[in-house]
Amino acid sequence: MNPDKHVDALKQQNEAAFEAIYHETKHAVYAMVLPIVRDRSLAEDAMQETYIKMLKKIHTYKKRYKFINWLLTIAKNTALDMQRSRKHTVSTDANANPDLFIASQSGPEKKLISEYYLSLIPPDQQQIVLLRTVGNMKHKDIATLLEMPTGTVTYLYQKALKTMREGSEEGKNNE
């Protein structure tokens, strides 16, 4: 994923550049906003708002930063603003809110399995797992984006995987 090569064209309002950036970043943006807003339709709204803000602020982007980190910061702030403005709380129980979790693969069974495994871990770990698996980001980039040490991101990612593996083993033992 390297949307940086399209930024200059985007600054010139090139529609093809926007399309390229959107297709290269949409999964990472979705993975960033979903654990924050905890609702698929709100995540889609947050994505749309993120890209609108990105277009309005593209002239402020400085090339010394990675474009994806800049965009995901906009996405995170947009999702946090949306979450703060919501009047009610959304359950984090996968059974109560089936749209909360996404599967990176298609098919209803795979989606249910993904929902189950993600429901075993806390939201901060969900975000790291989704950014890594769906957003295809490196731990170093996730750390920069979430303002955490890389070691912490790696630790939380490994802890999440361990928790999900243990959940898998428990599920097999209960069959």
pLDDT tens for the chain, 175 residues: list them. Answer: 567 788 989 989 899 999 999 999 999 999 999 888 888 888 999 999 999 999 999 999 988 888 999 999 999 999 999 888 875 444 444 444 444 444 344 566 666 677 778 888 998 898 898 888 888 888 988 988 888 999 899 999 999 988 888 887 765 565 5
CATH 1.10.1740.10 for the 1-88+96-100 domain, yes or no:
yes
Closest CA to 144 of 79, 80, 69, 33: 69
DSSP notation for 16-68: HHHHHHHHHHHHHHHHHHHHHH--HHHHHHHHHHHHHHHHHHGGG--TTS-HH
| Rounded alpha-carbon distances, angstroms, from residue 77 to 1, 25, 56, 95, 108 | 22, 16, 15, 28, 31
Matching CATH number, 104-175, of 3.40.50.300, 3.40.50.2000, 1.10.10.10, 3.20.20.20: 1.10.10.10
Q: How far apart are CA 63 and CA 70, in angstroms?
A: 10
CA atoms within 13 A of residue 3's CA, in its CB half-sphere? 28
Q: Which residue has the tokens 């930063």?
A: 65
What are the backbone dihedrals phi and psi of residue 66, each rounded to the nearest 5 degrees, phi first? -70, 135
Longest dimension (CA), the chain: 59
Write down the pTM of the prediction.
0.64
Residue given tokens 């969900």 in the structure block: 126
First and final C-alpha spacing in the chain: 41
**CB within 8 Å of 148: residues ≥ 6 apart:** 142
Alpha helices by DSSP H, listed for 86-138, are 108-119, 123-133
Reference 17, options 7, 2, 28; nearest CA is 7
| Residue 160 CA from chain centroid, whole number | 16
Domains in the chain: boundaries: 1-88+96-100, 104-175
How many CA atoms lie within 13 Å of 126's alpha carbon, on the beta-carbon side? 25
